[in-house]
A and B are shown apart, each in its own frame.
Chain A
């Protein structure tokens, strides 16, 4: 086949293990060489440059090698991605700047309460596996709105799907651009606003020419880099502190030491205590927010189109299921390490930073202070000694600065930067593709010009990709909010708008077109209303309801209100409207079984 990747299609797919094994080995050797160069006195700045530029270069190379003019290759990587590799690609697609850069930082600052992110961002895969992925794979089209348009007969549901997809994915991608900006700005030493656009080039070269195929094979490469670079500093510290290279086992001791230091430093909100407020007391508001967040993140996982569409690329339904298991395993590797990362960072700060003379603080403090106010040191009582309350660190830089805080060689910092960049780029690519595919395939091809030629469709897809990317980068330049908050909004929006119609469409044959559309509109509407009002018009919200927040639930968990509405409205309206046709019921049966053909159903 003309579109085979390197030395013939069979050659590439048959040698995946060798290719990526060699690549991982090459990356390790590259890191070791830089480590040696650092010892020989090569300046930090050069090390940072090497990591950022060379890794982006590799992704660009893969992206260009995977260029394609074939529709199925562009939209679903030709449905040839084996379960294991799709699992890795999903891992990279999934773990974004929020997981890599911010999550451990969130745990560092929030302690137990932030473990809601760890739970919420893993458990959703159980739902993906049992409720959705195999059935969507059997359906076998290009996009998630495709499914809605077919199951709910027409462009109404398709358009609703596209709107939700766009809102959720766009919010998400802005957060990624923000993360990319932080890293490129810090490690290339250029202004934040410029850095975002430099990073953007890295996203575009990966996805523009090769669509899903290029994104898949770069994501596998990015997963390998991000997991190595996340594990290295934590394993290193675990060995340094406790002599055992398995951080997941040793950080229990760090928790003990943190507890002792908390007493010494007079911290009232203990790190490991569950559901405590700022004063360290048990709080029902924190308790409720924990559940709300876990629920929204899990349901959001099972609703985000850029994740669901990864399971369109496996060769079979069986592989789609296996691939879900691989995905959560690869994701688990990072997630169960994150609390260790946070705990070691906390211990290092308490032990080696607080209580030091401010004049003696190492260079990293200076370097990070220059990146957009993310680290502030203010000698409040002018005693020249750093107090805990005088050290204000943003959660988005904890992971990136921890190797320097802990005094590890600078090469580890560069490594972590490369990993953070891989995480942000890979997710941004997946999201960008989800948006551009929905606009080009669902809106342009299915709704505007069904007669468009293949070449024209691919040109439109690429044009939209670049356009959306530029807008996202421009929005990120205005620094709308913190990374983790923007990402959590995206999850809520997707959960409220898409979960009910997708799940009910497969599991409840009685769901009707009108029922699904009303459910989507009401669920998404309520969620969006709550989010936007509490975020941008809190005074008006209070005037309307006499309270700042409904039951104290923060707007990152807005879907808690949208989800029940979506299910209830879909249910009631479906029962009020005529039962779906026999053909539609046969269609549902045909996607429920892996074998056999999908019963064609004219939309």
Chain B
């Protein structure tokens, strides 16, 4: 059991207590319902990561085991996850009783990203607080999220296909595997069919090929960018988000005792070409480029 504590109204609550309140067995997280009656409600979780602007300056730590972006970095929602949030909102436009929760792991700054999702229209935000900025294995992240999900009976979990900065693409599928539910990665299109209790997805394969299939609910889909256009927050949602508290669950000193892969060393990315940097004014560089390409008979 992962012992996560939740600091809520001043009184820390172990996440295990969340599980104790559960109404249903852990195997299969879908909820009980009146037999032969199609469901009209739906509980959606979107897992998001906060990432930095890719142009922010990086500093590698003295041990050369991790890098950080410093205090002036600007953070935002991982682009792929933002598409996942939008997709959840579009599902709720069709299934109006659907509820959308957001979850994210990280230090205090992560709340800004969660808040932004709520401003886009998500209902509730959960912050799995973890203050260390060093490498956190996706295996551990997926265990924390799976533990969080256990008692909460989500029908559908959405996330981005990967993060923009680390591009591992592991946390989503791993979370699904730990919950024992099906998943599909790199989803370009999805549709919930409540009558059939399934999720129809279209996965992007290589070179323009697609794969269509049905996943039994509950299911997880990690979405590709480009499947929708994320909306801007509306004024009414901004006002509502202002008055909705983000629930913080602390996982500071209680990560599972497992030794997954570690980052041993960070080094400058290797270079496989000459990398000549043109110098001078803009006009001089333009002239130099023309000359170089001309010499190669490309112009």
Same assembly: no
Please give the residue numbers on chain A whose beta carbons come within 8 Å of chain B beta carbons, in ascending order. none
